[in-house]
Structure 1
């Protein structure tokens, strides 16, 4: 059987639309707190922005270049683009239907958006003063007489489009909505129990005449442009840091991909914008509400409405680290885990902080992909360098949409004397690794932390990730080799414990899957549980189909894109795929193989995607201690038992909620409970 036929492969782009639809379901779900629903809706809008900037833009480039080759799912670029745009339009319509419902619910809770015509006299006076003092100085109208003089407008920024006439002459103008100010303006009210808001663009519309006193204003509408962010990088540039800075400038000038406008936008303004931006009608999105729903994130964070949000999460102390002050003594004693956000990220921070001041520590090496703005880990690395430690940091400059932050980080770390590595050609460094070298008994002892997620103390509060700490010498040898490899010698290495992409990670996964087939042939149980963000790689999918046909029972927990079809007769009837979309973003990558009863369990920085297996430095590492294995397996089983936030993939690739009349089990809520967490230890 040829498993590479298109009928066996679900389009990754269309699969992503389904995923964002599952996020939207959380915004629609009335069992979620109201402001959390608003937050989920903002997330769907932000997700879609990135998807359009990268995936849709890449597809449009193929169409414009005349590419006609079919993709793995059997779509030609033109076919897929048409299908994708149709699905996106449907998704946007659903978003705004949800927005209308949210507005009604917010009003019931005393949070409302007021129309200009409904303002009280007191509110009008307030807005007039606010406009004069705070908004007016930031506005600069640009007048346009013809399409070919259209200015370069910023990506994802709001603009007012104005159609003007003077002496029978028609012209157009645009005004950028200042992003230095909050988009929502709170109005004074007479009722302390209610809060009223207005969007800043509505305020600017009201006072537009101040700019156009010599003209007749015929129409005013809001619009927003989304530009291509899929810009090529010159990997061979002499100075990759300068190339990345130039890349960011080029990205600001990316070609327009999408035009968002208000539903009842003036037709002449609409046509003028489409012509100026060289966009088709299918690239225009007319929305039944405010353009750009990401402002709802600000609404979701309003103070004084704690009852409309999830109860604040206070992570449990990482119980593997209870009872000791010396983190090195703890790690040296045995391997330890921390499961975020259910457990505190503090041990990771503590390891770097103690290393920075410990006189026995001589060197710290770490990979950085994304960090928080005020990262305590970065502060500790700087302190370590100032204390004379040898600090080596690999910063991935090509981390999409974090490039600017990482460029600044490189410069800052260099300034304090850290040795900073970056810019490997044709690969990104996505591995999460930290190594502290310490002099003990006249020899170097290495302390290792490996993780499924970034060294970001903020995302560790909302992303599920698992990190492992070890002082085993064979892990130390491997991670030393890894950091030597990151110096630029991208050659194959013999690893003791870990597998590393792009060298042997794919081969290791295939070997592990095929071993389960072997176990079935020997009359034993074949079982795989794999948890990841996305399953896209056709080679891995082929191996999973073969394993299913051989009788291996396979459970896949895939948050986002899944190109495999599960539950199909004579193909994948032994494969179940579920997706969890809940309070936390499921980010951990966990791989369980029954291995005839001698369980093998791995954690990784990699998903099953070609980019992770072929074009990134990724690390797969084993969990060896039996109690730690059991703990992770218990967590997987709880996730697989979810009947509240889990959606099960159907044979046609669609998803349906997992429902049970017997019990309501929400995995993330169960894992939050301290007594349950304690039980796993």
Structure 2
């Protein structure tokens, strides 16, 4: 089966930017505004009528979670620079203060739009007999039910706090949500100001009983309904809700002697970071608003008054399994046929031939099985594993602990600096140490972001190394929704390369003579630029020159300039970039031959792939094809340990070029195209025409390298491969 090449979207008509000096920093798009543009696209999916209703609510929730994290990390950092008087410009030439001003204007519009979408979605949910209530819309039966809920499940967790000289304003942690209350005594003897933190340990929405539909009450409405029980003898005169976002970046001492203890201390400092954003009900009594602002030390420009629901991120609780008709149709990831042909034996399947799994379409359980099988195999002598992010009850860590307890040599390279997973990784590292594994924390100045696992197995009189390389984390839960690729191989050169990387992490010994691997911060960036320049030289010689690449973010200055030079030489460049893009595509005199698109849909695009035509038209058997753990950002290429793996197996190469990359480039249904101004617009589909959806294609069709005895000849590809 082949799908005709004409499905691929044409390059947009180049645009002239007469008001932009392309010889200056104006040739780059601002990183922060580009990220906000990505979150606009996420929010737009919440408005997309082709998306099931509760999934649209989920997209709305994700857009709010994204924005909160953006403020606690990126905006917090810019704010600190601006307050220190730092005027160092970003990639696009703007100072921290200038960026903050633009961010604030864009973010306020985005938050207002989130409330509009929220109101629209709740109206549509009501038509589906799902209702979000307030305390005014409760029946007597509802109130009787809620009395029991309050007393049994909520009241024991609450800490109502008076605010007066004897009771100072309490500390609220990052993302702390609270009600501020103005109360009057019923007998008229005096007012009281109080604070009621809304406990994060309790669900935000309480489900009410009833056979007719689904009804929910926000937790804060329940609290307001029972203020009399929390403050006996008082009645509400005025109230407001508010939420604080704090600086969540970590600061570490450069000479920390014990990295684990230093991280534990830094995590406590994060909890007490300065407030970078205060969201508050727009009808807040002036006295309460002033009190909160004074106590949290925020200025008027750091306050967002919300006309609607504070804490949009919590709406994910309304995405309930009961209403399967309002969710995506169920999808079960495939077990590769080759693994089934070998009765689940991962080592036998890998010995047959290199195998690339495309998650979540092929189940991540195969990665877990690879390590679990290694833990129980008496012929396995050693396992080495990087861990950047993983789940709380991680089956990966379970397998490593089991292997260590069985006497195998287990070395785990745990990255403590994985943002927001630092505490979890400390717990996992201690658990591994208790089991007898060697735990290595890598570099203080570099994050270890590479995704590698090696299993050394005794086979006859020799040792064989089985290696797994991934583009995503060893996280079974996120692997259900993130698109990533996993390469399994027993190729000797790749196994030796992986071992050299592990030795670099554990002993600082820089690897030499890597056969099929480049790593940052050593040579990954220079290798990328050399290959871009090689395509540039081919174009200048009049030969076919093409680059296809897929990643989450592109913001590294030298790489972007190399792509600009390649475009000007005639290299045809197609980029699939989910999030941040600092490159201006399709600009006359700069980037006429570069196309950038973003795919946002049912699954989160996360894999990092790059293909160079190498003098041939893509896809081609003679192309150079790579998978990577790294986005093309300064942090990944200069300040992290990352991998770029060259694919040598022809079937895997065809799978990446003729299936994965071709499908992404063909996608119309969930694609946005970027123009030279930095703006994205959704690809338009003429009425009645077929809109190719790459996620649906991958769900319906097996991967080339995972086929078993049936072979790969009948597996759908999207383009012919040039011999």
TM-score, scaled relative to structure 1: 0.96
Selected match of 2:326 from 298, 302, 308:
308
Shift of 1:680: 4.5
Q: In the alignment, is residue 75 of structure 1 matched against residue 108 of structure 2?
A: no
- Counterpart for residue 666 of structure 1: 693
- Counterpart for residue 244 of structure 2: 225
Shift of 1:313: 1.3
Selected match of 2:580 from 537, 557, 561:
561
- Counterpart for residue 597 of structure 2: 578
Q: In the alignment, is residue 173 of structure 1 matched against residue 197 of structure 2?
A: no
1:105-184 matches, within 5 Å, as 105-145=124-164, 149-164=168-183, 172-184=193-205
- Counterpart for residue 422 of structure 1: 441
**C-alpha spacing 1:258/1:146, structure 2 compared with 1 (3 Å):** farther
- Counterpart for residue 715 of structure 2: 679
Shift of 1:165: 5.3
Output one character per residue of 1:610-635: Cα deviation in whole Å (capped at 9) or x when no partner. Answer: 00001100010011111211111122
Shift of 1:353: 1.4
Please give the alpha-carbon distance, in whole angstroms, between the structure 1 residues aligned to 2:656 and 2:376: 33
Secondary structure, counterpart of 1:153 in structure 2: coil
Please give the alpha-carbon distance, in whole angstroms, between the structure 2 residues aligned to 1:158 and 1:615: 35
Please give the alpha-carbon distance, in whole angstroms, between the structure 1 residues aligned to 2:303 and 2:612: 48
- Counterpart for residue 601 of structure 1: 625
Q: In the alignment, is residue 370 of structure 1 matched against residue 389 of structure 2?
A: yes
Q: In the alignment, is residue 498 of structure 1 matched against residue 517 of structure 2?
A: yes
8 Å Cα contact 1:429-1:617 kept in structure 2? yes
Secondary structure, counterpart of 1:85 in structure 2: helix
Larger CA deviation: 321-330 vs 633-642? 321-330
**C-alpha spacing 1:542/1:168, structure 2 compared with 1 (3 Å):** farther
Please give the alpha-carbon distance, in whole angstroms, between the structure 2 residues aligned to 1:404 and 1:22: 31
- Counterpart for residue 8 of structure 2: none
Selected match of 2:650 from 608, 614, 626:
626
Shift of 1:247: 0.9
Output one character per residue of 1:468-512: Cα deviation in whole Å (capped at 9) or x when no partner. Answer: 111111111111111111114153533121000000000100011
Shift of 1:427: 0.3
Secondary structure, counterpart of 1:404 in structure 2: helix
Q: In the alignment, is residue 590 of structure 1 matched against residue 609 of structure 2?
A: yes
Please give the alpha-carbon distance, in whole angstroms, between the structure 2 residues aligned to 1:69 and 1:346: 46
8 Å Cα contact 2:78-2:96 kept in structure 1? yes
> More relative contact order in 1 or in 2 (CA 8 Å, sep 6+)?
2
Selected match of 1:283 from 292, 302, 309:
302
Selected match of 1:518 from 537, 543, 556:
537
Please give the alpha-carbon distance, in whole angstroms, between the structure 2 residues aligned to 1:169 and 1:503: 69
Selected match of 1:321 from 330, 339, 344:
339
Please give the alpha-carbon distance, in whole angstroms, between the structure 2 residues aligned to 1:206 and 1:502: 57
Please give the alpha-carbon distance, in whole angstroms, between the structure 1 residues aligned to 2:85 and 2:168: 28
Q: How many residues align?
A: 678
Q: In the alignment, is residue 204 of structure 1 matched against residue 261 of structure 2?
A: no
Output one character per residue of 1:164-210: Cα deviation in whole Å (capped at 9) or x when no partner. Answer: 45788765321111222211112233xx2312111111011111123
Output one character per residue of 1:586-632: Cα deviation in whole Å (capped at 9) or x when no partner. Answer: 00000000001220000000000000001100010011111211111
Output one character per residue of 1:120-164: Cα deviation in whole Å (capped at 9) or x when no partner. Answer: 111111112222222222211222236994321121122111124
Shift of 1:287: 1.7
Larger CA deviation: 59-68 vs 588-597? 59-68
Please give the alpha-carbon distance, in whole angstroms, between the structure 1 residues aligned to 2:375 and 2:23: 51
Please give the alpha-carbon distance, in whole angstroms, between the structure 2 residues aligned to 1:630 and 1:320: 17
Larger CA deviation: 590-599 vs 127-136? 127-136
Please give the alpha-carbon distance, in whole angstroms, between the structure 1 residues aligned to 2:334 and 2:666: 23
Please give the alpha-carbon distance, in whole angstroms, between the structure 1 residues aligned to 2:153 and 2:167: 33
Shift of 1:3: 6.5
Secondary structure, counterpart of 1:424 in structure 2: coil
Please give the alpha-carbon distance, in whole angstroms, between the structure 2 residues aligned to 1:650 and 1:319: 42
Secondary structure, counterpart of 1:518 in structure 2: helix
8 Å Cα contact 2:655-2:703 kept in structure 1? no
Output one character per residue of 1:523-575: Cα deviation in whole Å (capped at 9) or x when no partner. Answer: 21110001000001011000000000000000010000000000100100100
Larger CA deviation: 69-78 vs 427-436? 69-78
Gaps of 5+ in 2: 1-19, 617-621, 705-713, 718-723
Larger CA deviation: 170-179 vs 14-23? 170-179
8 Å Cα contact 1:147-1:276 kept in structure 2? no
Larger CA deviation: 477-486 vs 162-171? 162-171
8 Å Cα contact 2:576-2:598 kept in structure 1? yes
- Counterpart for residue 393 of structure 1: 412
Please give the alpha-carbon distance, in whole angstroms, between the structure 2 residues aligned to 1:141 and 1:467: 50
Please give the alpha-carbon distance, in whole angstroms, between the structure 2 residues aligned to 1:84 and 1:492: 42
- Counterpart for residue 647 of structure 1: 672
- Counterpart for residue 610 of structure 1: 634
Please give the alpha-carbon distance, in whole angstroms, between the structure 2 residues aligned to 1:574 and 1:73: 21
Selected match of 1:259 from 274, 278, 287:
278
Alignment RMSD: 1.9
Secondary structure, counterpart of 1:644 in structure 2: coil
Please give the alpha-carbon distance, in whole angstroms, between the structure 2 residues aligned to 1:146 and 1:613: 53
**C-alpha spacing 1:328/1:211, structure 2 compared with 1 (3 Å):** closer
- Counterpart for residue 709 of structure 2: none
8 Å Cα contact 1:148-1:276 kept in structure 2? no
8 Å Cα contact 1:394-1:422 kept in structure 2? yes
8 Å Cα contact 1:146-1:171 kept in structure 2? no
- Counterpart for residue 256 of structure 2: 237
TM-score, scaled relative to structure 2: 0.91
Please give the alpha-carbon distance, in whole angstroms, between the structure 2 residues aligned to 1:332 and 1:232: 46
Q: In the alignment, is residue 66 of structure 1 matched against residue 90 of structure 2?
A: no
